[in-house]
Chain A
């Protein structure tokens, strides 16, 4: 369970400060706390509104866990948050 690769999608709006902060925070989370091989994709809702529509994304940033386990979403700035992993129903490595 703990070694399972984690797949994430981060939805952001354009090239804003908030978007960059969200990407940086997620990158460091991936590097430090998630199993090797875990990765995330960034979707800019302005550039790809159809993806936002399909995923029904209203707020940005929204972090979505695709696997493992049931889908989970976190809305808002994860940098200021301690329990990101538990919120995503994940365990640290």
Chain B
């Protein structure tokens, strides 16, 4: 009979927070009309997330919010959040942001003597809901509530009442709570989990000598979300930015349209060029010609009037321009045409999460037809393994989302043969792999190139010799009578074997 109302009671809608990347991971946003607990250790950016939930609501959706602060005073928060570009004072005047300042008052001695309720708090919240039409609420933090009201049975009951009240008013709320350890009890007081059906954990852990921030949605009762830990970073002037890494994004529609690699010889080896929305990995030892291949790939695009973007982590702009000139490629002219953009960055300059954000931003801004990253190994050097792998997945999906043709380079640590760690992290993600190798024959050093993998296309399986001169790369004949080049242990056959 009441199937309709029952249905609506069990179907929980989502409220988009507007926090970059979060809503994707949360399959649409926070459970609407519910309270979500955000738990984390000291310094895990709980308060920033609580404030950003309101700030993005105002900026993107024109939704008014209430911020209840039990810890820092309202005036401290107004000042602190200016660095994110949030004009809280202006929003307060416009009736979009209401502070309920419940921070400890240093001038007031308060003694708790007996039974009480949080009627004052609820009256203030109720007033803000009525007068401002607020639909979002953040409370920071539960730990501070418990510090102010030490009689724990009483305050527990009252927190349940507050949560029930917010639910009855249809408020989507975000509640922060402290936890002692990064992995372990959700929060310190053991009550918070019952207050909220929905729990998010923010972590700030040391991983390979780097600080790494992650977010995990532990539960959203009755509604979906992505599982696992997702990295995030705090961006100056913006706030938190989360990085969705869902595997779904990697299954992009595949195009069978080919683009030239920039070298007709290589196009031939690849069975007619690279696929439009594919990523090609160039792996080889130092000096084998990886940067040259990336440069020719981009120059080939510019020749066809395509927009090309290079992320260079190995060289400065001047070095790159000079080297390219040595191969007969005029970088300045391509940049002057507005078709080539070279972004040189020092890998150690910032964390890998921030590199990723910057790269995603440039991809969106420049909208390239081709993009090359030279090299991934330089970035791998400066990041923990897990973070690097997530970086590659996320960058790859960002490139593929736009149907851009991509090329990554990776350096192998050994001069002969071998594979790089980078390669093993990247090889399953990239569509094509091309190996560049040094080959020593009869006392001379040669360069060899082979197409190891070319997803969805036949390709040349031989190892061909190539030379680099003032005109760039020239691919020649397959090496005769040499086996074991790829493994780095060439053996020379004196005479051709008979079949």
Contacts and interface: CB of A to CB of B under 8 A. Distances in A.
Interface stretch (B98-106, B385-393, B436-444): B98-106
Q: Is the interface of A mostly helix, strand, loop or mixed?
A: mixed
A62 B109 contact: no
Contact of A76 (B101, B112, B122, B127): B112
Interface residues of A, number: 32
B102 A49 contact: no
Nearest to A59: B116
A74 interface: yes
Contact of B110 (A75, A81, A84): A75
A73 B110 contact: yes
Contacts, number: 95
Q: Which of B105, B117, B126 has the most CB of A within 10 A?
A: B117
A77 B113 contact: yes
A50 B120 CA distance: 10
A71 B119 contact: no
A50 B117 CA distance: 18
Contacts of A74: 110-113
A58 to B, nearest CB: 4
B114 A80 contact: yes
A75 B118 CA distance: 10
B183 interface: no
Contact of B116 (A46, A50, A76): A76
Interface in A49-85: 49-50, 52-53, 56-62, 70-81, 84
A38 interface: no
A87 interface: yes
Interface string B142-154: 0000001100000
A90 interface: no
A44 B171 CA distance: 24
Interface stretch (A1-9, A12-20, A29-37): A12-20
25 contacts: A12-B119, A13-B123, A45-B119, A45-B123, A46-B119, A52-B120, A53-B127, A58-B102, A58-B120, A58-B121, A58-B148, A60-B117, A60-B120, A61-B116, A71-B107, A71-B109, A72-B109, A72-B110, A73-B110, A74-B111, A75-B110, A75-B116, A78-B114, A79-B114, A87-B111
Given A75-B149, A76-B115, A77-B115, 16 more contacts: A13-B120, A45-B124, A46-B126, A58-B121, A59-B118, A60-B118, A70-B109, A72-B111, A73-B108, A74-B113, A76-B116, A77-B113, A78-B113, A80-B113, A87-B111, A87-B113
The 5 A-B pairs at the shortest CB distance, nearest first, are namely A13-B119, A49-B127, A76-B114, A57-B120, A60-B119
